[in-house]
Structure 1
Amino acid sequence: MHLLSLGCRHGAARALRPLPLCRLSISLCTDSNRDVSNVNLTAEEEAAGRLIKKSLSRARKWSVQDLIQCLGADCSGIQLTSNIVDTLLFKFGDDWKSALGFFQWAQSRDEYRHTAYACNRMVDLLGKMRQIDRMWELLSDMHCRGLVTVETVAKSVRRLAGARRWKDAVMLFDKLEDMGLERNTETMNVLLDALCKERRVDVAREVFVVLSPHIPPDAYTFNIFVHGWCSVRRIDEAMWTIEEMGSRGFPPSVITYTTVLEAYCHLFEASQVFRVEMPRKGVSRNLATYNTMISIFCYYGQDDDALNVLKEMEAQSCNEFLKAAFLNPS
């Protein structure tokens, strides 16, 4: 069930070195989903944060190692807390160099251990700023410390796909079990979603063909493909996926069909889905479906049809949403 040969066919800018073999430890990272935008710092923590930023500002144009040395010289007396570290990492924005220097300096302190938020924030930031080799080094270090979570993998795969490193995204999935994680439906969906969002639906489909005999898909798997095919304007493939979805025991939902409706450029096809396909499959319409069809009919000047859909919408007890829909059009 290995995907590396598939990844090699699609290539990558430069292959990353394999993750090291490490004995996994129990992760002590916590608070991976914490909201740090409104953390209330104590006066002491705020003073520490100001000193750290002042030290970093002196060496911002230098190397990451220089930043670490400056922090070591200026801030050795600071008692680090997760509030200080996580808040600063958030406030660095896209300044990856300051963030990485600070992150590595904090990690070198014997009394401090990073939260999962800090680890995942750094992985995401390095990937976003196309510092892929540095991101991979951090991921390797996190792997050896037993700190890699599904969220870490999700951020890494999405950034690798965004950097057009398809081979590396596939390789990371192949190595999940080495990192103590399962290759299951959830992690497969992470990989497929990342590829589809980068408009590499063809690659995602090949991955799915290899994995599906071993990893069962779910409804979300097929919705990923419906959205992916629609995003690259291959609506016939999206409709074929809907058929496959039903044959595998996952009835398409209103969300599935609304995605297709929004993708159609032509009135006839959209009307066919709305009037024929959805009733045939027993899929009820919702507010988004009705609003989409009203917009399509209005775009083509079919005001009577738009009014009929509006009346149907009222009859289907959507009237409580009508005022909000028209006061706040999408």
Structure 2
Amino acid sequence: MFSGIARKNILLLLPVNHAISHVTFRNYLRYFSSLSSLSHVKQCHLKRDSDLDLLVRKIVVGSSEDEVFQILMQDPACGATEITHDLIGRLLNRFKDDWKSALGIFRWAESHRGYKPAPEFYDKVVDTLGKMKQMEKMRVFVEEMNMARLVSLNTIAKVMRRFAGAGEWKDAVRTFDEMDKFRLEKNTESMNLLLDTLCKESKVEQAREIFLKLKLHIPPNAHTFNIFIHGWCKINRVEEAQWTIQEMKGHGCRPTVISYSTIIQFYCHQFNFRRVHELLDEMQDQRCTPNVVTYTTIMHSLTKSEAFEESLKIVDRMKSSGCKPDTLFYNVLLHTLGRAGRVHEAIHVFKVEMPQMKVAPNTSTYNTAIAMLCHHGQEEAALDFLRDIQNSPYCEPDVQTYFPLLKSCFRAGKKDDCLSKLLDDMSSKRHLSFDLSTYALLIHGLCKRNKAEEAYNLFVRMMAQGIRPRYVTCRLLLEEIKQKNMHDAAKRVEDFVKKMKTF
């Protein structure tokens, strides 16, 4: 582990006039070895981040997949980059809303001799193509996967969900029918995936018809009926959901906490808390104990109806039942306390109670705390939480983390350097892709600050990313750039507004 010279150097650091046992000496060796390992890990992280930054800088937003591929192939610096699963995974995640860049990156990685993309990366590309409504490209890509025998049930699930999400539910059913072509079995699990896909897109009646045919040779399970309970509630037909509980009993399946919690959630959305409490009593009679999800759902809905005291009573009821809180529960509790104006108590929950209960915060926990503090005008405290999440071992900030802080930057009296620092952190350090809401906030805020050119640059970047701005954003930007005599920019925005009206 250490050379003779290294051992002598370590001895110089040992306490003077102290008898050194073999155990003590081994402990010192372990200590210095750990320092060496930590240094190596840090260097690996720095190398990984620098490779990511290099590749992201090379990719021009709005380029075609072939252009991205050629840029990465022809650049010597990119060619010298070590291709790893971690790097490709981070790149695909970075460009999950930019299918051209994602596909170009994948083709580049795939072309490297000695490197084979992980199966989940193929599925990631499938999902990205489907998400961006590139259905034909998704079909072709899946066929390529099939030739290489890389299509899994997870792949099929993503394909079906993207077809259904695009309104092409018959293609989702066709994908299930063709599972034999992909050497996959039609069984309870795959049937449930299809039914769940259809029900989540409100095609519950169609799913029911398909189920009646499939159940003749594929046995349903409790999850099958829970899918329908959720589907009926989604389309506001709670009577069918309640009848489904009786149907599952007839099939020998016992209703689960999910069965009841789904119907409770429906009544929570209706703010029918009398019925909620009746169902809680029914669960008790059926010896079906509510779980943390049940309580969290009720608490969230009571908070939404501004019944803050009633919401906090649910917290007491849950704790008295012995049900252990989780991260999502605490996220809702923080939101409740914030809405109730009890900021000090919320901070206590975050910094004291959650560590005591050994519940780790996630990105949403930090986002909730930051939004709460910004809402109550405590931006400095919110920035402290931002620094905490940036150094957190549990999670990383996302676009929503920065949104309330960006919003606070446009309040009267805030300096431009605060905004610039946040935007630099989001883009250059965190490599976050802005969403529609973030672009709208920034464009509106910059227009009000008489920074039409910067707002227009964001508009161009937004369009290149394939994100359609809202009509009100276009009108506001158009008025500002006309006042600045930015004629070419104004024509481009006007042309887009005309297309939007036609659409």
Give CA deviations for 1:158-208 in whole Å, capped at 9, x if unaligned. Answer: 111111111111111111121121111111111111111111111211221
CA distance in 2, matches of 1:274, 1:84: 48
The residue number in structure 2 matching 1:170 is 173
TM superposition shift of 1:226: 0.5
Q: Does residue 1:97 correspond to 2:79, yes or no?
A: no
> Structure 2 residue aligned with 1:134, among 134, 137, 145?
137
Asked if 1 retains the 8 angstrom alpha-carbon contact of 2:123 and 2:158, the reply is yes
Q: Distance in 2 between matches of 1:123 and 1:142?
A: 10
How far the C-alpha of 1:321 sits from its partner, in A, is 6.0
State the match for 2:73 in structure 1. 72
What one-letter code is carried by the residue in structure 1 that aligns with 2:87?
A: I
Q: Output the amino acid matched with 1:113.
A: K
Deviates more, 1:229-238 or 1:84-93: 84-93
Q: What's the secondary structure of 1:114's corresponding residue? A: coil
Tell me which amino acid in the other structure corresponds to 2:213.
V
Structure 2 Cα separation of the partners of residues 153 and 282 of structure 1: 37
Q: What is the distance in 1 between the residues matched to 2:89 and 2:298?
A: 45
Counterparts of 2:264 and 2:72, CA distance in 1: 55
Q: Which residue of 2 aligns with 1:230?
A: 233
Q: Is the 8 A contact 1:41 1:84 kept in 2?
A: no
Q: How far apart are residue 237 of structure 1 and its match?
A: 0.7
Say if 1:78 and 1:288 are closer, same or farther in 2 by CA, change over 3 A.
closer
Q: Secondary structure at the match of 1:155?
A: helix
1:68–1:208 CA distance, 2 compared to 1 (3 A):
same
Structure 2 unaligned spans of 5+: 1-41, 337-503
- Same amino acid, percent of matched pairs: 38
Indicate the structure (1 or 2) with the bigger Cα radius of gyration: 2
- The 1:297–1:91 alpha-carbon spacing in structure 2 relative to 1, beyond 3 Å, is closer
Equivalence for 1:221: 224
Which residue identity is paired with 2:117?
A: H
Aligned to 1:21: none
1:153 and 1:247, CA in 2 relative to 1: closer, same or farther beyond 3 A?
same
Residues 137, 248 of structure 1: alpha-carbon distance in 2 compared, 3 angstrom cutoff:
same
Q: CA deviation at 1:54?
A: 3.6
Cα offsets for 1:218-260 (capped at 9, x unmatched):
1111111101111111011101111110010111122211211
The equivalent of 1:254 in structure 2 is: 257
For 1:198-217, what aligned pairs fall within 5 Å after superposition? Answer: 198-217=201-220
Q: Structure 1's 71 and 250: CA in aligned 2 closer, same or farther, altered over 3 A? A: same
Mapped partners of 1:123, 1:83: distance in 2: 19
* 1:295–1:106 Cα change, 3 Å: closer
The 2-side partners of 1:45 and 1:293 are apart by 44
How far apart are the structure 2 equivalents of 1:68 and 1:290? Answer: 50
Q: What is the root-mean-square deviation of aligned Cα atoms in Å?
A: 3.7
Partner Cα separation in structure 2 for residue 140 and residue 327 of structure 1: 47
**AA matched with 2:69:** I
The reply on whether 1:148 has 2:151 as its aligned counterpart is: yes
Mapped contact 1:120–1:155 kept (Cα < 8 A)? yes
Q: Deviations over 1:124-154 (max 9, x none)?
A: 1111111111111111111111111122122
Query: Which secondary structure state, in structure 2, belongs to the residue aligned with residue 137 of structure 1?
Result: helix
Q: Any idea what SS the aligned residue of 2:120 has?
A: helix
- Tell me, in whole angstroms, the C-alpha distance in 2 between the residues paired with 1:153 and 1:105: 24
Within 5 A, what are the aligned runs for 1:180-329? 180-264=183-267, 265=270, 266=272, 269-270=275-276, 272-275=278-281, 277-278=282-283, 281-286=286-291, 289=294, 313=317, 318=321, 328=334
Say if 2:63 and 2:101, in contact at 8 Å, map to a contact too: no
Bigger proportion of residues as helix: 2
| Cα distance between partner residues in 1 of 2:55 and 2:223 | 44
Q: Is the Cα contact below 8 Å between 1:41 and 1:83 reproduced in 2? A: no
Q: Which residue of 1 aligns with 2:16?
A: none
Paired residues in the alignment total: 285
